[in-house]
Chains A and B, each alone.
Chain A
Amino acid sequence: MNKTFAIVKKELHSYFSSPIAYLILIATLSLFNVFFFLIIDQNHEASLRDIFILMEFMFVFLIPLLTMRMFSEEKANGTMEFLLTSPLTLTMIVLGKYFSMLIFFTLLISMTATYYFILEYFGNPDPMSILSGYIGIWLEGAFFIAIGLLVSSWTRNQIIAALVSYALIFLLYFAASFTKYFSGSVEHFLVQISTRTHLENFAIGIITPSNVTYYLTGTILCLVLTRLSIDNRLWQ
């Protein structure tokens, strides 16, 4: 556990030692703030439902940018050899990387918690539906990060890592949009794999076991595949 924590610390230090992390935080929060006031002004509702839908859409674009370097950079710089010849298990390496990005992402969305207090001041929001929305967006972010981490373990090129992550995340995000071209089990499958289907419930305050299972299964599957990919030295 100490070794995993050492990787988490090193990764977080690495994000915050460059201006990119600060730029991403400032740019994302600024955009969220603008849309928050626009949406509230238009809907006149003490609810963050539409904000969560917007956040999901923005994370589709943001997360591959955050995750593209996670393993690709290690491989390109030769530091992967350092990690893999140190007395670390592959699980420690994967979890250390994953948790560090999850902490960064949690920090990013926790900064939007001020929206609840603004709504609380001016109106009467439902705290449970807002909490449910945050759980949903956090689970979805956790899933997207796991996808980005997996793709980053396949290549030493950060641009390729970002593009393939975009392709996979877009596919999951827009899967439900293709249902009009299909019917029966394919249509059902597309609805089930679409992230939008699952987040919509969280955004309106409904947490169902199937929605939670979807995100947890997807995340764990990607982490297991990442471990396998590193074990097989697929990038070599």
Chain B
Amino acid sequence: MLVAKHISKKFGAYQALDNVSFEINKGDIVGFLGKNGAGKTTLMRILTTFITASSGSVLIDGEDITKHSLTVREKIGYLPEKPPLYGEMTVKSYLKFAAQIKGVSAKKESWQVAKVLDDCGLTRVDKQKISTLSKGYQQRVGIAQAIIHEPKLLILDEPTSGLDPIQIMQVLALIKNQREQRTVLLSTHTLNEIEQVAQRVLMLKSGQIVLDESLDELLKKKQLTQSHPVTLEQIFIDYHQDTPLTQLSTQG
């Protein structure tokens, strides 16, 4: 579904991404990990064609994102870190607008809007102005606009950031429900969330991929060397400090 080859991105002298390559298969939910500044958002912005890579190539559903940018964007649903919402619009009028600019046919528009309102639990607030909604509801509207045109690939940049535990649970359930319909790539700081929804983990450190493995395999592999249950959180810390936490625990 997605093939990224040797992607590098420089902002002036700063190397944000350095020779990043990975593949994502159809139907996968992939969790994207990394500290702040690791290059997650930059990579997501390149995949969604918002910015261009300094070098390297990306194929989405077999099409090059720079050569067939418009066709590729029809296949992508994207929720940036800050939900892109127009506060003065009602939920329904915003989703109609999103459907129109994302190429949903006039015939399907009303049906599609009603479907995502229902899927995202927004029917009750569809006539409310977006600016009056809670953060959790605004996040759901952000996800709703990302799936309104039934994209094959859904890219979510920290979809649970700033939400309370109940809202996080609801958003994660919504993401899990996408599994059967589309491929999902999501970034988050909360490792527990990746464990709940993702099948595979990609970890970025200083602009490079340092881990690309199925979550089950990864936990199993680490478990073999440890006497106690290993969590993704421990693995994450291992990759970001000099003395691995898993070794410290064993030594202790």
Query: Which positions in A face B, CB cutoff 8 Å?
Result: 2-3, 6-7, 9-10, 13-14, 17-18, 77-79, 81-89, 233, 236
**From residue A193, how far is it (CB to closest CB) to chain B in Å?**
36
**Is B22 part of the binding interface, using a Cβ–Cβ cutoff of 8 Å?**
no
A17 with B88: in contact, given A85-B73, A86-B102 (CB under 8 Å)? yes
**Is B236 part of the binding interface, using a Cβ–Cβ cutoff of 8 Å?**
no
A18 cross-chain contacts in B, Cβ below 8 A: 88
CA distance A9 to B98 in the complex (A): 12
A82 with B80: in contact, given A13-B93, A87-B70 (CB under 8 Å)? yes
CA distance A89 to B73 in the complex (A): 11
Question: Which segment of B44-52, B118-126, B224-232 sits at the interface?
Answer: B44-52
Q: Which of B49, B82, B86, B102 touches A10 (beta carbons < 8 Å)?
A: B86
CA distance A233 to B80 in the complex (A): 17
Judge whether B84 and A77 touch: CB under 8 Å: yes
**From residue A5, how far is it (CB to closest CB) to chain B in Å?**
8
- B76-122 contacts to A, CB under 8 A, are 76, 78, 80, 82-86, 88-89, 93, 97-98, 100-103, 106
Judge whether A85 and B50 touch: CB under 8 Å: yes
CA distance A9 to B96 in the complex (A): 11
Judge whether A14 and B100 touch: CB under 8 Å: no
The A contact surface, by secondary structure, is helix
CA distance A86 to B89 in the complex (A): 18
Smallest Cβ-Cβ distance to B74: which chain A residue: A87
Judge whether B86 and A79 touch: CB under 8 Å: yes
B73 cross-chain contacts in A, Cβ below 8 A: 85-87
B45 cross-chain contacts in A, Cβ below 8 A: 81
User: Could you give 17 example pairs across A and B, Cβ below 8 Å?
Assistant: A3-B101, A6-B100, A6-B101, A10-B97, A13-B93, A14-B89, A77-B85, A81-B45, A81-B50, A81-B80, A82-B78, A82-B80, A83-B101, A85-B49, A87-B101, A87-B102, A89-B70
Other than the given A77-B84, A78-B83, A82-B78, 14 more pairs (CB < 8 A) read: A3-B103, A6-B97, A6-B101, A9-B97, A10-B97, A13-B88, A13-B89, A13-B93, A17-B88, A82-B98, A85-B76, A85-B78, A86-B101, A87-B70
Judge whether B51 and A7 touch: CB under 8 Å: no
**Is B246 part of the binding interface, using a Cβ–Cβ cutoff of 8 Å?**
no
